[in-house]
Structures are given as structure tokens and as C-alpha cells.
């Protein structure tokens, strides 16, 4: 897959709303007014960062920042989409609780919380975290230090991909407060970025998920309250700390406020990482990646076709779009007006998640592609839980038989049965996500399922 | 794994937590708690609860009724790989 990180369009990507021109803050800093928010610095240096965004305000009242984040509606950008302020508040509360309990039980050492920025990006179709760390590392650092200040941690850790680590180390060396952040390189792998796997990696050096009955906010690394936030989440938080919740919400929709960084790949002219307004229709994002190929086609310029026609033309080569990555779901080509929002995508088993959009062209068979992804996911099991180890390959195998046009009418029902059987029966959500993806492929490609069962394929004949 | 230790109270009912990273599917618990646990085709315990949507189910924490507390405590004690533990209902 070749994904290049294109600069966001100069005036921001097309989106549902535009912000009023904000007033300059002290120091002549102007809050970003368009969808281009996170990638405004001319280069990744600290000087360029400060020039555009100004200094980070001090965190004097942790609760005030938590409240600002609550009002912003920021959700986590690592995939699960948890509310960010709730996680912050949970770690704050459990730190206070443990320390009170410890003091009352006779002077045991207090438990300082652990704060981790997660840029491990185990999802093979995602490049946005790497792009962010290479292009805007100082926003990530600002956000991480702000989280640490909020929960009362003096140090923090970045758990990132190899590429991310190089960028982050360079950035950390540029600033005095960078010394408070340690960089840990995450191994490759689909489940290594799962939050309990991150805690396990930092505690034991093994990046596999672990069993848990209480949330990490209560007991994570070495039993300490642990906050794990995705690097994009941290960058967004750094902007909210500067410009406020109302500014954050001035772009996007009521349900999906702010911007989101997405990775578009597959059958598009220009695969890219792009910052879009929350709630942008999927077809708008895809069309932007079709038109921006290698400058405008002269034939298009001569043609008076308007944008909508151009978008429709560009989308005619699309069979379906996988949204949310390998744990996400397929949206068929007829439904691409759907906005990139949690509520609208739920019926497809999809979610904005880590912002992954993978385009399947009309030249590809949806069932074959899905079977390959299911096989990959089965192979990515951390091989700890019996149901995951046995159930995922079984499910992938039945799907591959369907993809290979075995004329066995029982195959779809068997896939549904196995998906139901594995769901909720592992120590992490890998079985659930894999089951959801496999079920979405049966729904999105139902005409193909019927054809395959008759020994035909729309693509391969 | 650092988790709180819980007492089994027996009165209000508890949840039987399955640590899937330990369980090797020997099926002892499914014999002791036949009304709560089935065995799947690979031998792993499968909660006999069918309420709610697929997503809403938490099949790693199996509700144990008050009259099965003793059997559940036995299962916890006898599981050969210490994969089970009783936790209070939230
Ligand atoms: S469910 Fe699968 S991926 Fe998750 S911890 Fe268990 S074996 Fe590993
Ligand atoms: S007794 Fe223990 S090892 Fe055996 S099936 Fe039950 S939980 Fe798994």
C-alpha cells in the first residue's frame, strides 16, 4: 500500500461547516479557522510549532482542563473512541482514592499514575499517527504533558512505532520539558496497541493484551492508575487547552465535533492522510482523493461538469469502502453519502475509530478481499485465549470457502454461528472486532454471497 | 495481574470471571456449573446466557445465582490453571 501524506488542502478539506474568523490571542496567535488545524506548522521544529500555535498555557487547575475537554466532546482517536474527559476523570479519581486509602492504612507509598501516549498504530491500513508524529510532534508532546499535569504525573511515556520514535526523539531533544518523556518502541502487530497490551509492554516487556477485571484507570502498569491516550487525541487536546472547547466545536457537527485525521487507501488515485471535519460524508472524502491525483486532468478543465458530477464519476469505480479498519465494517457503494459519524456508521458495523477508509474498487471481489483480511486477523491473534486461537481461523476458513465459490449453502450460517460463538470470549476485543468485520462482509456483499453459492462471481465470472 | 481481591459474599450473587489467557479448556468448571456453563466445540466454557445483543454480552463474567455460589467457589478452587475468580456484580 502506498500512502503519501498529502498536505491538507490550503483551506481545509470540504466539510459541513466553517468557523467564523477567530480573534487573535495574546502574542498575535490566531486560532486555526479552517479544517486545517493539526498540520499548520511549516516544519516539525519547535520554533515552527510555537510560531503557529503559541505557547501551551500552564495547567493550574486540572479540573478546569478536564471540564474544557468534556465540553469539547473530544473522543479517543485510537479506535475505541472512548470519551477523553471520562478517562482523565477516572484516573484522577482513582489516583485520589488509592492515595487516600494508602495514607489511611499507615504511610504506604502513594501511587503515582502512569501516562502513556500511544502511537503504535498496529492497524496496517492506518498511517495517520505516524504522519502526525512526523509533521506535528510538538502538539503530541504538549498534549501528553498536559495529561500528565492533569493527573499529577511527573513523567510520561510515548509508546510508538519505529518511525514515530525517530520523529518524537528529535522533537523531544528540542525542548527542556522533553526530558520528562521516555520513548518506547512498540513491536509490529495488530493487537500490540491494545491498551492492556501497552500496559503489559511497559511492565513486563511483552506486548500482548492481558486479563483484567478492573479498568486500567484503576489498576494498570504495576497496579498504578494508568492513562493511555492515542497520539492524535493528545494533539487535539493540546489545541483545546489553547483555544477552548467552543473553538473546537466550531467545525464538525454536534455529534462529531472538531476535525479528525483519516487515512484513505486502496482504489483511489491519491491515497493520503487528510484532516477532515467530523461528520463529513464518506463520498466527499473519497472524491477528494480521486480528484487530487496528479493535478487536474485537462479534459476535466474543458468539461463544465460541476463538483457533484465529478464526485459521482469518481465514485463509479468504487465497490465498497471499509471504514474503521480491519475491525470495522464495509459500507457498500450505494450508501457512501453516510457521514463519518459513530451513529450513522453503526448499522454497518463500522465506526470512525482510528479514521481508516479503505476503498475497494469495482475490479475487486468483496468476499475475496474480506477472506484475506479475516485470515490476516486470525494470524494476528496473540495466541493466548483458546477461543481466539481456534475460533478465528475456523471463521476465516469458512469465509475463504465462500470466497472460493464452494457451492455449500450452509456456509453463511456457519460464519454467523462462529462469529456469535467467539464474540466476548477473549481477553481483548480482537475476537469481537474480527467477528464484526466478517459479519459486515456478509451484509455488504450479500448479492455476491448468493452468486458465489451458485458458483459465480461478479468480478471473476 | 494486579487486581483487587474480592470476597465471595454469596448473598447478592457474583460474577465468575474467566481469564481466557489461562484457561486451557479442560472443562472441569463446566461440569461443576452445568446450569451456567456449556462447553463449546473446543472445550472452552460458554456462558448459558442469551440476553441482550451480541455486543452487550460480557461472556467473560458469568452471572452466578446465590444457590450456586458454593459450586462456583469449588470451580475457582479446583480449576487446574487458576483461570477463574469470583468478582462482585458491579
Ligand atoms: S483474544 Fe486473542 S488477541 Fe486478544 S488476548 Fe486473547 S488470544 Fe490475544
Ligand atoms: S476449569 Fe479452568 S481450565 Fe478448565 S475449562 Fe474451566 S476455566 Fe478453563
The answer to whether residue A24 scores a pLDDT higher than 70 is no
Q: How many CB atoms lie within 10 A of CB A410?
A: 11
Residues of B in contact with A211 (CB under 8 A): 1, 19-22
A377 close to A326: Cβ distance less than 8 angstroms: yes
Topology of domain A366-453 in CATH is de novo design (two linked rop proteins) (1.20.1440)
| pLDDT tens sequence across B48-83 | 875 554 444 678 999 999 999 999 999 999 999 999
Measured from the alpha carbon of residue B24, the closest ligand is 2
β A356-361/A259-266 pair status? parallel
Contact B23 A214 (CB under 8 A): no
Q: So what's the pLDDT on residue A352?
A: 92
Select from A436, A428, A435, A326 the least CA-distant residue to A383.
A428
A29-68 residues touching B, CB cutoff 8 A: none
Domain with B41 in it: what CATH number? 3.30.70.20
| pLDDT tens sequence across A258-304 | 999 999 999 999 999 999 999 999 999 999 999 644 444 434 443 44
A392 close to A380: Cβ distance less than 8 angstroms: no
Q: So what's the pLDDT on residue A100?
A: 66
The CATH H-level superfamily of A22-249 is NADH-ubiquinone oxidoreductase 51kDa subunit (3.40.50.11540)
| pLDDT tens sequence across A160-178 | 999 999 999 999 999 999 9
Domain boundaries, chain A: 22-249, 259-361, 366-453
A68 close to A57: Cβ distance less than 8 angstroms: no
User: Which of these ranges, A68-72, A92-96, A128-132, B54-58, has the smallest mean pLDDT?
Assistant: B54-58
Q: So what's the pLDDT on residue A419?
A: 96
Q: How far is residue A312 from each of residues A307, A330, A443, measured CA to CA in Å?
A: 9, 19, 23
- Is B21 near chain A, with CB under 8 Å? yes
Q: Which residue of A has its CA nearest to B25?
A: A386
Q: So what's the pLDDT on residue A382?
A: 85
Q: How many CB atoms lie within 10 A of CB A345?
A: 21
Distance B44 CA to ligand 2 centre (A): 7
Q: So what's the pLDDT on residue A308?
A: 55
Hey, which of A29-38, A88-97, A163-172 has the most confident mean pLDDT?
Answer: A163-172
Mean pLDDT, range A43-47, rounded to an integer: 97
Q: Which residues, listed in sequence order, are joined to residue A357 by a DSSP beta bridge?
A: A264, A323
Residue from A101, A385, A436 whose CB has the most chain B CBs within 10 Å, to mutate = A385
Q: How far is residue A446 from each of residues A25, A162, A330, A375, A451, measured CA to CA in Å?
A: 54, 40, 12, 20, 9
Q: So what's the pLDDT on residue A99?
A: 66
Q: How many CB atoms lie within 10 A of CB A12?
A: 21
Q: Which residue of B has its CA nearest to A224?
A: B2
- Residue keyed to cell 466454557: B45
Residues with CB under 6 A from ligand 1: A 191, 208-209, 381-385, 388, 426-428, 430-431; B 20
Domain count, chain B: 1
Å between A461 CA and nearest CA of chain B: 36
Select from A99, A64, A100 the least CA-distant residue to A85.
A64
> CATH classification of A259-361, choosing from 3.40.50.300, 3.30.465.10, 3.50.50.60, 3.10.20.600?
3.10.20.600
- Residue keyed to cell 472443562: B27
Of A210, A219, A424, the CB nearest to B58: A424
Residue from B19, B20, B56 whose CB has the most chain A CBs within 10 Å, to mutate = B20
Q: So what's the pLDDT on residue B51?
A: 54
Contact B20 A432 (CB under 8 A): no
**Which 8-state DSSP code applies to residue A110?**
P
Domain span at B36:
2-88
Amino acid at each position: 500500500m502506498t500512502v503519501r501524506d498529502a498536505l491538507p488542502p490550503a483551506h481545509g478539506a470540504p466539510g459541513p461547516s466553517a468557523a467564523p474568523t477567530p480573534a487573535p490571542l495574546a502574542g498575535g496567535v490566531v486560532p486555526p479557522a479552517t479544517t486545517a488545524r493539526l498540520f499548520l506548522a511549516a516544519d516539525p521544529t519547535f520554533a515552527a510549532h510555537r510560531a503557529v500555535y503559541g505557547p501551551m498555557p500552564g495547567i493550574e487547575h486540572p479540573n478546569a482542563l478536564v471540564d474544557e475537554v468534556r465540553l469539547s466532546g473530544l473522543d479517543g482517536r485510537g479506535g475505541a473512541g472512548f470519551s477523553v474527559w471520562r478517562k482523565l476523570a477516572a484516573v484522577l479519581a482513582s489516583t485520589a482514592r488509592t492515595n487516600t486509602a494508602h495514607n489511611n492504612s499507615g504511610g504506604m507509598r502513594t501511587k503515582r499514575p502512569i501516562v502513556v501516549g500511544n502511537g503504535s498504530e498496529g492497524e496496517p491500513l492506518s498511517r495517520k499517527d505516524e504522519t502526525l508524529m512526523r509533521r506535528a510532534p510538538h502538539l503530541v508532546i504538549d498534549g501528553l504533558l498536559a495529561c500528565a499535569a492533569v493527573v499529577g504525573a511527573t513523567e510520561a511515556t510515548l509508546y510508538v512505532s519505529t518511525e514515530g520514535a525517530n520523529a518524537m526523539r528529535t522533537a523531544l531533544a528540542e525542548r527542556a520539558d522533553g526530558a520528562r518523556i521516555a520513548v518506547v518502541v512498540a513491536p509490529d502487530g495488530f493487537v500490540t496497541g491494545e491498551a492492556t497490551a501497552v500496559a503489559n509492554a511497559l511492565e513486563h516487556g511483552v506486548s500482548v493484551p492481558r486479563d483484567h477485571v478492573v479498568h486500567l484507570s484503576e489498576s494498570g502498569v504495576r497496579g498504578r492508575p494508568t492513562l493511555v491516550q492515542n497520539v492524535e487525541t493528545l494533539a487535539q487536546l493540546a489545541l483545546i487547552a489553547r483555544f477552548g472547547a467552543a473553538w473546537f466545536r466550531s467545525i464538525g457537527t454536534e455529534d462529531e465535533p472538531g476535525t479528525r485525521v483519516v487515512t484513505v487507501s486502496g482504489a483511489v488515485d491519491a491515497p493520503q492522510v487528510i484532516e477532515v471535519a467530523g461528520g463529513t460524508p464518506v463520498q466527499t472524502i473519497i472524491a477528494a482523493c480521486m480528484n487530487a491525483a496528479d493535478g487536474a486532468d485537462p479534459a476535466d478543465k474543458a468539461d463544465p461538469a460541476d463538483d457533484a458530477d465529478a464526485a459521482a464519476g469518481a465514485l463509479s469505480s468504487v465497490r465498497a469502502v471499509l471504514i474503521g479498519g480491519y475491525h470495522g465494517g464495509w459500507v457498500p457503494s450505494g450508501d457512501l453519502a453516510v457521514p463519518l459519524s459513530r451513529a450513522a456508521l453503526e448499522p454497518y458495523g463500522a465506526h470512525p475509530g482510528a479514521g481508516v477508509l479503505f476503498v475497494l474498487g469495482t475490479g475487486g471481489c468483496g468476499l475475496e478481499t474480506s477472506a484475506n483480511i479475516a485470515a490476516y486477523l486470525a494470524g494476528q491473534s496473540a495466541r493466548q485465549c483458546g477461543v481466539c486461537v481456534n475460533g478465528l481461523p475456523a471463521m476465516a476458513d469458512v469465509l475463504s470457502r465462500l470466497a472460493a465459490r464452494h457451492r455449500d449453502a450452509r456456509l453463511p450460517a456457519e460464519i454467523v454461528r462462529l462469529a456469535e460463538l467467539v464474540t466476548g470470549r477473549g481477553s481483548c476485543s480482537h475476537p469481537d472486532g474480527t467477528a464484526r468485520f466478517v459479519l459486515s462482509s456478509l451484509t455488504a456483499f450479500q448479492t455476491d454471497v448468493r452468486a458465489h453459492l451458485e458458483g459465480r462471481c461478479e468480478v471473476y465470472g | 495481574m494486579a487486581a483487587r481481591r474480592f470476597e465471595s459474599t454469596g448473598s447478592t450473587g457474583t460474577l465468575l470471571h474467566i481469564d481466557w489467557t489461562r484457561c486451557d479448556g479442560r472443562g472441569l468448571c463446566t461440569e461443576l456449573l452445568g446450569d451456567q456453563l456449556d462447553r463449546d466445540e473446543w472445550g472452552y466454557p460458554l456462558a448459558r446466557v442469551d440476553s441482550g445483543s451480541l455486543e452487550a454480552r460480557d461472556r467473560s463474567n458469568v452471572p452466578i445465582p446465590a444457590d450456586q455460589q458454593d459450586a462456583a467457589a469449588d470451580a475457582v478452587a479446583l480449576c487446574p490453571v487458576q483461570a477463574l475468580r469470583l468478582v462482585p456484580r458491579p
